[in-house]
Each structure stands twice: as C-alpha cells, then as structure tokens.
Amino acid sequence: MSRPYYIAGNWKMHKTRAEAAELAGALVAQLKDGKHKYLVAPSFTSLETVGAIVRGTNILLGAQDCAAEEQGAHTGEVSVLQLKDLGVQTVILGHSERRHIYKEDDELINKKVKLALKHGLDVILCVGELLEEREAGNAEAVCETQAVKGLEGVSAADLSKVTIAYEPVWAIGTGKTATPEDADAIHAFVRKVIAKLYGSGAAEKIIIQYGGSVKPENAARLMAKENIDGALVGGAALKAETFVPIAKFA
C-alpha cells in the first residue's frame, strides 16, 4: 500500500515574527506545486503570523507542544483551545527535547496526546532512543515503550489522526544520521508495534516520519525505504533553500 509522504518542519526556538513570515512566504511560493503533505511548526509567538500566510495553501500549521490541561492556573503553558483559536491543525508531542531536557514522561505525553485528539487536532508523536540505549541494544524496546504508552487509551478511529516520528536522539542536530537501513529497521519495528495494538490494516496506513539530521543530500535515500513515510526536519527547515529540496525530494 502506498502511503502519502509527509514532510514537516519544526522551527524550534528560532525566528522572530518577521523572520517567520519571510520563511513561510518563501515556502508557500516554492511548494505550491509540491506533491506531498507539508507542515510547518513555528514558535507559539509566530503561529498567528505564519497561520495567516499558510492559510488556504497546501502547508498545514503545526504547534511544537501543548499543555496537558485545557485551561487554568498553568503559568507559561499554552492550551489546545488557544492553539485551535490560532488555526493550528496539528501538534508535535513527545519531542526528544521535551522528553530529555524538560523531563516529560510517557504519562504526561499520553495525557497531551489524548487531549489534543479530543479537541480535533492531529498529532505527531515522537519516539526515539538515546545513544547509550542504542549501544546497549535497547533501541527497539525504548521505541516500543514510548509508542505503547504514548498511545494508551487512543481509539482506532483516533489513530488515523496520529503520525509517528522516529527520532534517534543521537542523530538530532548532531550531523549524525541513522543509515537509511537502520532507520527503516526501526520504522518497520514500530509498524509491528502498531499492528499488535491496532491490527495490520492500521499499521499499513500509519505514517511514520524520520527525524534526525535530515538534509537535502540524504532525504531521497531515506524516503526510498519501504517504511519511511516522510520527515520531521529540524535545522534544515529553517531555510527555504534547504527545506524545499527535502520537501520536493525526487
């Protein structure tokens, strides 16, 4: 079964509104004839600005995180209701930086996943192992735990709104990339995990992106693999001249 390719740009903590607007405008112009599914996730402060530029185009608006509660006394947090109000369609959850720098655990991430889905947002759920976990032979076990716990209580119907992103933590922003073979092996494994939870039909359909130093030079080789259905791009998403060739990989 052929799954649509899905290329997402995570801008992380970069860009003022003016810079974000400039990049969004360039992407709208250069990707309008793109054949894949596209998303950009700017900082919270630029969501409204970028949302106005990508509205009605083939580029979806994503947020990089959301709070685990709908509203209330949560200083510094941003709720799904506020994100929806800005036109956000998708939220990235469980990114390795949230897990490892901000110490988010599987339970918290699962709470966010269910809350986002309840409010009609799509989710990109990130999974991935640290270098020491890979070297100890635990890469698959770590990814299985994160996928199973992240999706706990998510119905089969809601699973259709979830994309998984496999991000080996040792390959994020380090310039190291998992070989296409290594990445594909984990993607195939995660697909098996989904099959165990939701059946083979759901596993065939689910889109699994690769994230971890994706560049114009390696995008096509990664995408050629059977189980890699797109990319969650970090550093290379910050400039049109590096994101567009990934988004239009041939």
Long-range contacts of 118-121 (CB under 8 A, 24+ apart): 119/80, 119/81, 119/84, 120/84, 121/66, 121/80, 121/83, 121/84, 121/88, 121/89, 121/90, 121/91, 121/161
- CA–CA separation, 171 vs 224, rounded Å? 19
- CA–CA separation, 135 vs 145, rounded Å? 17
Tokens standing for residue 104? 């988010």
Q: Which of 95, 97, 129, 187 is catalytic?
A: 95
Active-site annotation holds for 241: no
Active-site annotation holds for 95: yes
Q: What is the CA radius of gyration of the chain?
A: 17
Burial 10-43 (b: 16+ CB within 10 A, else e): bbbebbeeeebbebbebbbebbeebebbbbbbbb
- CA–CA separation, 197 vs 213, rounded Å? 30
Q: Which of 97, 104, 129, 167 is catalytic?
A: 167
Tokens standing for residue 33? 């004839």
Instruction: Provide the annotated active-site residues.
Output: 95, 167
